[in-house]
């Protein structure tokens, strides 16, 4: 997606060979015009895949997931990183480790928000090693639902996440694929959408 690549070039900051800072438009301050275009692009690709729900992991995936769900006319479900006193009843949980933060947490889904006949689109902001997306797929499968695809805003194509997900049989589509990072350096390879 050229619009996203342009935004990354103009406002993103490569802090190292593995860290790309996009907090000015994706994961701290959100650019609603960009998110609307992302939602339209993803919905256009997935419109004929029978999607019944869009899933994302809190918190950076919420904005693109909301816009995509709105375009598809389906609910959006947030997979929780932290346990909550109000999240009671039966839940599915799986442990994942964040590449960026280097911490582990229990990813949680209330069983109320998934049915065996659901067809789920998983949306995440970044794909590095694939741990978060793999955790999301585990929760969907615990609920007996089917995964139609995994949509990524920014893929670090030089890391193993895509291969890991594709080796497990998932279709991965990325809006921007970063091929190389370095202090002040951001290079792209061809994206899927």
- Report the 10 Å Cβ neighbour count for 49: 12
- Is 95 marked as a binding-site residue? no
d(CA 157, CA 163): 9
- Is 27 marked as a binding-site residue? yes
> Taking a C-beta distance cutoff of 8 angstroms, is the pair 67, 142 a contact?
no
- Is 129 marked as a binding-site residue? yes
Taken as a whole, the chain contains a residue count of 193
- Is 58 marked as a binding-site residue? no
Q: Which two tokens stand for residue 57?
A: 């992991």
Query: What is the residue whose two structure tokens read 């690549």?
Result: 5
Residue 101: closest CA among 122, 126, 84: 126
Query: What is the residue whose two structure tokens read 């000015």?
Result: 24
Q: What are phi and psi of 173, to 5 degrees?
A: -130, 125
61 to each of 38, 64, 169, how far by Cα in Å?
12, 6, 22
Q: Which residues are annotated as a binding site?
A: 20, 27, 128-132, 156
Q: Which residues are annotated as a binding site for xanthine?
A: 20, 27, 156
Q: Which residues are annotated as a binding site for 5-phospho-alpha-D-ribose 1-diphosphate?
A: 128-132
């Amino acid at each position: 997606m050229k619009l996203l690549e342009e935004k990354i070039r103009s406002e993103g900051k490569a802090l190292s060979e593995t860290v790309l800072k996009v907090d000015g438009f994706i994961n701290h301050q959100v650019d609603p015009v960009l998110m609307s275009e992302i939602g339209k692009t993803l919905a256009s690709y997935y419109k004929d895949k029978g999607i019944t729900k869009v899933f994302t992991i809190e918190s950076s995936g919420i904005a693109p997931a909301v816009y995509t769900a709105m375009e598809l006319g389906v609910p959006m479900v947030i997979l929780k990183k932290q346990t909550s006193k109000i999240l009671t009843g039966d839940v599915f949980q799986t442990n994942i480790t964040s590449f960026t933060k280097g911490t582990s947490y229990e990813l949680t889904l209330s069983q109320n928000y998934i049915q065996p006949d659901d067809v789920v689109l998983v949306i995440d902001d970044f794909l590095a090693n694939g741990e978060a997306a793999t955790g999301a797929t585990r929760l969907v499968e615990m609920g007996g639902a089917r995964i139609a695809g995994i949509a990524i805003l920014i893929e670090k194509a030089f890391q193993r996440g895509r291969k890991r997900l594709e080796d497990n049989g998932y279709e991965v589509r990325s809006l921007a694929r970063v091929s190389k990072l370095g202090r002040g350096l951001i290079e792209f390879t061809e994206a899927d959408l």
